Amino acid sequence: MNIVSKEASLSPTILVVFGISGDLSHRFLLPALAQICSASNLTGKLSILGVSRQNKNLEEVLGPHLQSLRTQTELYKMNLSEAEDYRQLKEKLAGLGKDFPQPPQIIFYFAVPPAAVLPIIRHLGKAGLNGDHTKLLLEKPFGTDWNSAKELIDQIDKHYSEDQVYRIDHYLAKQMAQNITVFLGSNAIFRNVWNSGFIEEIEIVAAEAIGIEGRIGFYEGTGALRDFMQSHLLQLAALVLMEPCSDIFDFEEIPRRRLAALEALQPIPADKFPGRVYRAQYEGYTKEVNNPATTTETFVSLTLESSNFRWEGVPIHLVTGKNLDQKLTEIRVQFKKTSASASNLLILRVQPREGIEIDLWVKEPGYERKLQKLKLSFAYEQHFGRLPDAYEMVIVDSMRSNHSLFASSAEVLASWRILQPVLDSWSMSSDDLKFYKPGSTIDQVMGSV
């Protein structure tokens, strides 16, 4: 039996990419656009205007994706700090719009450094490129703390309404993350036990095998808490903790329920930091960034609690780190042990090999009464074949005006509210910073701290 949503069709769109010749565009955005155009008939529905400061040709910019994107892509040179250039951009977009059978929407994608985003938005607003038919597609980071996030949101609000802003969290766009709402909303066997009466604890892990990969400037000003905890892990926690939707395809309701879950998560009191807040740095990091005094954390573990009665007494462990033994993102739900049975562990695997796994106890064959733990597993790729990339999903869903994969401004502020006491404490002292060897397991890192 298949249940199909009434999905909105893709609206005619002009996608304006600021920074089309940059690294983010080459590594992620252009491959996603090429796949979308190959998989869908978007002729006459999608036009790509790549904005760059330099004179470049399509062969240089599109590279291996030239064949897929050539007919739909045009390059446009402009000085992003000149107001007059935005007036000319407006005229250019008006001309492109005439090629569509109906007025297209305009999506501005910001594949530029964070410091460049707000000045561009101000110029767009002043040039009148902020009508109801326009949208902003923004990459993280969304501020560096609560105050900076609030200032960024307030500045954007001067030119664009909240429903025009799409803040990308690529973990929300991964297939497993999207399927959490379906998994809980459509399967009574789990929906009916999704509370503190049956669940012992929840652990959400995002481990990376790589270090900072040369991103010294970015990571030194960010760290693991801001890079992964504020966005990816808290958003995954919100999906797991939110009240399951009665209508799993109600894409407007999902962000509201995520927000309610985030607002119920409590900041950790200062006197509870020992045992609930851990940070560490991998050995060799100071030399890598050429800063012997750096206290930037590359590993963080937080244990949070929710004020929602459904989750009373259930610890929520969030763990992330770099230069660990493996690349892995998964949600582990430990069910309570009863007097009649052992505990069961449910794993929602986000990456790699997206899927679902549960430990079940069975009796071993034979005359003796012995129990054995076996895994019942399902992998999306095995069953469905190729899965759409997260970048493909955010582009397609922004074209459909589906906000469910994007973080609202209220969610961003709720996340920073949870973490602000930790940031404040760390700004005053680094006495709790520990160290671990590259390639360590999470248990080994936690043992060192």
More confident residue, 327 or 66: 327
State which amino acid sits at residue 433: L
Backbone Cα Rg of the chain: 23
Q: What is the mean pLDDT of the chain?
A: 87
Q: How many CB atoms lie within 10 A of CB 261?
A: 24
Q: Which of 232, 317, 383, 403 is catalytic?
A: 232
The predicted model gives 69-85 an average pLDDT of 91
More confident residue, 191 or 157: 157
Question: How far does CA 365 lie from the centroid of its chain?
Answer: 45
332: which 2 tokens?
Answer: 């582990």
How much is the pLDDT for 440?
95
Give me the residues paired with residue 299 across strands.
Answer: 280, 321
Asked if residues 282 and 438 have their Cβ atoms less than 8 Å apart, the reply is yes
Which H, E and C letters describe the chain, residue by residue?
CCCCCCCCCCCCEEEEEECCCCHHHHHHHHHHHHHHHHHCCCCCCEEEEEEECCCCCHHHHHHHHHHHHHHHEEEEECCCCCHHHHHHHHHHHHHHHCCCCCCCEEEEEECCCHHHHHHHHHHHHHCCCCCCCEEEEECCCCCCCHHHHHHHHHHHHCCCCHHHEEEECCCCCCHHHHHHHHHHHHCHHHHCCCCCCCEEEEEEEEECCCCCCCCHHHHHCCHHHHHHHHHHHHHHHHHHHCCCCCCCCCCCHHHHHHHHHHHHEECCCHHHCCCCEEEEEECCHHHHCCCCCCCCCCEEEEEEEECCHHHCCCCEEEEEECCECCCEEEEEEEECCECCECCCEEEEEEECCCEEEEEEEEECCCCCCCEEEEEEEEEHHHHHCCCCCHHHHHHHHHHCCCHHHEECHHHHHHHHHHHHHHHHHHHHCCCCCEEECCCECHHHHHHHC
Looking at the chain, the domain(s) classified CATH 3.30.360.10 span 175-448
Tokens in use for 164?
Answer: 């025009």
Is residue 232 annotated as a catalytic residue, yes or no? yes
55 burial type by CB count under 10 A (0-12 exposed, 13-18 middle, 19+ buried)? exposed
Question: What is the rounded distance in angstroms from the CA atom of residue 317 to the CA atom of residue 446?
Answer: 12
pLDDT band at 231 (very low <50, low <70, confident <90, very high): confident
**pLDDT single digits (tens) 133-163:** 999 999 888 888 999 999 999 999 999 999 9
Which residue did the predictor score with more confidence, 327 or 375?
Answer: 327
Look at the chain and count its residues: 449
- Average pLDDT for residues 206-233, to the nearest whole number? 89
pLDDT band at 55 (very low <50, low <70, confident <90, very high): confident
Cα distance from N-terminal residue to C-terminal residue, the chain: 50
Residues of the chain with CATH 3.40.50.720: 13-139
pLDDT tens-digit series, residues 12-23: 899 999 999 888
Report pTM. 0.88
Percentage of residues in the chain having pLDDT higher than 70: 93
pLDDT category, 120, cuts 50, 70, 90? very high
CATH 3.30.360.10 fits 175-448, yes or no: yes
The answer to whether residue 40 scores a pLDDT higher than 90 is no
Q: Quick one: which of 199, 201, 177 has its CA closest to 190?
A: 199
What is the C-alpha to C-alpha distance for residues 244 and 257, in angstroms, rounded to an integer? Answer: 8
Q: Between the CA of residue 72 and those of 38, 48, 133, 190, what are the distances in Å?
A: 12, 6, 20, 45
Query: What confidence category does residue 4 fall into, taking pLDDT thresholds of 50, 70 and 90?
Result: very low
Whether 352 has a pLDDT exceeding 80, the answer reads yes
Q: What pLDDT is attached to residue 191?
A: 82
Q: Which amino acid is at 164?
A: Q
CATH number of 13-139: 3.40.50.2300, 3.40.50.720, 3.30.540.10, 3.20.20.480?
Answer: 3.40.50.720
Place of tokens 């897929």: 68
Using CA atoms in the order 173, 177, 178, 179, what is the torsion angle rounded to 10 degrees? Answer: 150
Which pLDDT band holds residue 179 (cuts at 50, 70, 90)? confident
Pairing of strands 105-110, 13-18: parallel
Which pair of tokens denotes residue 230? Answer: 């504020």
